[in-house]
């Protein structure tokens, strides 16, 4: 498969390629490099070299760990956890509290959580070893829908102005926090069930919004991420996602083709920067010249 193939691997920073290939977090892959264990043999068969972590490596380069080739093929894995309450969204809680470590041990190696939920919030958490999808889900400009169920300890009327304010936005620390939609699911004389759909992903956003508006939030649960939902998945359980679920998620975040085009634009910008600095990246220039959408992307960038 040549570089001109639309499905060929784009040039990547050494750190990212190493982390993906070794199925390690970026920090652990960097530690391998600092220990002098990582090297790269170029496609021309020259002697292995130690490159900078930020150096670009290409599809036909060979990564070596302790002098031995690393299998750089990585089968994408996607999984969904219905996170229970009182679980910290880190691999290791610094205070020794319950965290994601039991789930990470059960999942295939190299998986990591996409974003986080605060300790008291329950609901869907996506795991993957696919850094591209993770970045696409988290990018603010992709406006990926995330749906939340709120239990409020009060009865809201349909014309309560705070419902509209949740959508119009609440100012918090100089930033406007808002929901795409807010509607009542159920209520009685003592409580209200509310559904909010967010496209923003600020830390403790819903809790800040409720506090600012005087809404007494008893419990918060994330029930959906894009087309994914929590139906049939009990709290504390996880399951792998199949292609019929993954492809709609990709579509919801702009698709693989859109992501590739953005990356190619970034590579064109990087090539232009090195050229302007008087140190052109010859190999990258050659790769870009063979990229099918190169002419269009270059003119856009």
At 79-131, the pLDDT tens digits run 999 999 999 999 888 888 999 999 999 998 889 999 999 999 999 999 999 98
Render pLDDT for 27-79 as a digit per residue (tens, 0 to 9).
Answer: 899 999 999 999 999 877 788 999 999 999 999 999 999 999 998 777 899 99
User: Which run of H or E residues covers position 50?
Assistant: none
Q: Tell me the per-residue pLDDT of 136-152, one tens digit each, with 9 for 90 and over.
A: 898 877 778 999 999 99
pLDDT above 60 (res 7): no
pLDDT for position 297? 44
From the list 118, 120, 153, 168, the catalytic residue is 118
Tokens 């829908």: give the residue.
Answer: 145
Contact 266, 297 (CB under 8 A): no
- Please report, rounded to a whole number, the percentage of residues in the chain having pLDDT higher than 70: 94
Identify the pLDDT of residue 299: 44
Q: How many CA atoms lie within 13 A of 104 on its CB side?
A: 19
- Are 151 and 218 in contact by the 8 Å Cβ rule? The answer is yes
- Express as a percent the part of the chain with pLDDT over 90: 70
| pLDDT on residue 298 | 45
Instruction: Using pLDDT thresholds of 50, 70 and 90, give the confidence band for residue 6.
Output: very low
- pTM for the full predicted model: 0.83
Residue 8 predicted with pLDDT over 90: no
* Residue range 261-280: mean pLDDT, rounded: 94
pLDDT at 135 over 80: yes
pLDDT at residue 168, as a whole number: 95
Q: Bin 226: left if φ > 0, else alpha if -120 < ψ < 50, else beta.
A: left
**What pLDDT shows up at residue 79?**
97
- For strand 68-69 and strand 38-41, is the pairing parallel, antiparallel, or unpaired? unpaired
Q: Residue 292 pLDDT more than 70?
A: no
118 part of the active site: yes
């Amino acid at each position: 498969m040549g570089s001109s193939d639309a499905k060929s691997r784009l040039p990547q920073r050494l750190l990212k390629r190493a982390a993906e290939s070794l199925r390690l977090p970026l920090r652990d892959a960097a530690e391998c490099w600092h220990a002098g264990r990582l090297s790269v043999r170029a496609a021309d068969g020259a002697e292995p070299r130690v490159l900078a972590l930020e150096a670009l490596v290409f599809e036909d380069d060979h990564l070596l760990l302790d002098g031995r080739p690393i299998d750089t093929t990585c089968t994408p894995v996607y999984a969904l956890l219905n996170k229970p309450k009182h679980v910290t969204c880190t691999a290791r809680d610094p205070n020794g509290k319950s965290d994601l470590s039991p789930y990470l041990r059960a999942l295939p190696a190299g998986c990591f959580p996409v974003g986080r939920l605060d300790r008291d919030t329950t609901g869907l958490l996506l795991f993957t070893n696919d850094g591209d999808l993770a970045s696409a889900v988290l990018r603010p400009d992709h406006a990926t829908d995330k749906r939340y169920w709120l239990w409020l300890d009060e009865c809201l009327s349909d014309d309560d102005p705070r419902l509209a304010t949740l959508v119009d936005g609440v100012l918090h620390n100089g930033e406007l926090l808002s929901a795409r939609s807010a509607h009542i699911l159920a209520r009685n004389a003592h409580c209200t069930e509310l559904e909010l759909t967010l496209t923003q992903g600020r830390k403790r956003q819903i809790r800040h919004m409720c506090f600012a508006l005087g809404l007494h939030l008893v419990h918060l649960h994330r029930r959906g991420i894009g087309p994914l939902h929590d139906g049939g998945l009990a709290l504390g359980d996880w399951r792998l996602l199949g292609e019929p679920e993954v492809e709609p998620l990709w579509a919801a975040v702009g698709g693989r083709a859109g992501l590739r085009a953005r990356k190619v634009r970034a590579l064109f910008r990087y090539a232009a920067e090195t050229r302007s600095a008087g140190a052109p990246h010859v190999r990258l220039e050659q790769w870009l010249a063979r990229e099918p959408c190169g002419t269009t992307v270059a003119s856009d960038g």
